Amino acid sequence: MIKSVLSIILISAITVTATGQDGKEIFQTNCAACHSVGKGKLVGPDLLGVNNKYSEEWLIKWTKSSQSVINSGDAAAVAIFKEFNNIPMTEFPLLSDNEIKSIFQYIQTESDKKTAAATASVAQKITEKNSSVNNNDFINKYLGISVIGVFFLSILWVLLRVNNTLTKTLKEEFVKNKSLTEQLKFHNQTK
């Protein structure tokens, strides 16, 4: 009695580990030779986002026997088969539904990661672009301020020059006038 209970526990434990087997591992052993997730075509199509393209039921049927799905006249199956030059995909009739589900769960997780990374990098590029635009604005402002500054400084310089010349001329005139008055005085005295 105890023996049979123990063996039942043991068997169910083995089954759990078998079905709970990492989708990543099953993918790498059975699919990675022909498929990538987000790294482009290999022998077969890139499986990035494939969960959005088909139902889970379709994916299970396809993985077990892609040829029977194609032969049933399924339009999407026929199209992808043609696109890949009628190369038949390996059939996996021995994989259980749960194992196939865990493969596509892994593909979903990887796709989500890739999409998130892509969105993040686009967001970062936009931020970088914005900050470089801000930098340009900054430079433009500085350039504007400096141009205006140089302009006013030159006007100031010209004004100072004019002022100097005028003072000089005035002084000269003053000296001239003074000597004239003195000459006149002298003239009057001697008269």
Q: Least distance from C-beta 120 to ligand HEC, angstroms?
A: 25
Q: Is 104 exposed, middle or buried (0-12, 13-18, 19+ CB in 10 A)?
A: buried
Show the binding pattern over residues 91-110: x = contacts ligand HEC (CB under 6 A), - = does not. Answer: -x----------x-------
Taken in order 148, 151, 155, 156, the sign of the CA dihedral is: positive
Q: Is 96 exposed, middle or buried (0-12, 13-18, 19+ CB in 10 A)?
A: middle
DSSP labels for 128-149?
HHHHHHHHHHHHHHHHHHHHHH
Binding part of the chain for ligand HEC, among 39-47, 112-120, 130-138, 160-168 by CB under 6 A, reads 39-47
| From candidates 36, 38, 44, 96, binder to ligand HEC by CB under 6 A | 44
Helix (H) or strand (E) holding 190: helix 97-190
| From candidates 61, 74, 80, 106, binder to ligand HEC by CB under 6 A | 80
Q: Does 78 bind ligand HEC (CB under 6 A)?
A: no
| From candidates 23, 37, 48, 63, binder to ligand HEC by CB under 6 A | 63
Closest of 121, 72, 68 to residue 92, by C-alpha: 68
Q: Is 160 exposed, middle or buried (0-12, 13-18, 19+ CB in 10 A)?
A: exposed
Tokens read off for 39: 């790294």
Strands (E), the chain: none
Q: Least distance from C-beta 64 to ligand HEC, angstroms?
A: 9
Q: Does 34 bind ligand HEC (CB under 6 A)?
A: yes
Q: Does 33 bind ligand HEC (CB under 6 A)?
A: yes
Q: Least distance from C-beta 17 to ligand HEC, angstroms?
A: 19
Which of positions 121-150 make contact with ligand HEC (CB under 6 A)? Answer: none
What is the contact surface with ligand HEC in residues (CB under 6 A)?
Answer: 30-31, 33-35, 43-45, 47, 50, 53, 59, 62-63, 66, 80-81, 84, 87-90, 92, 103
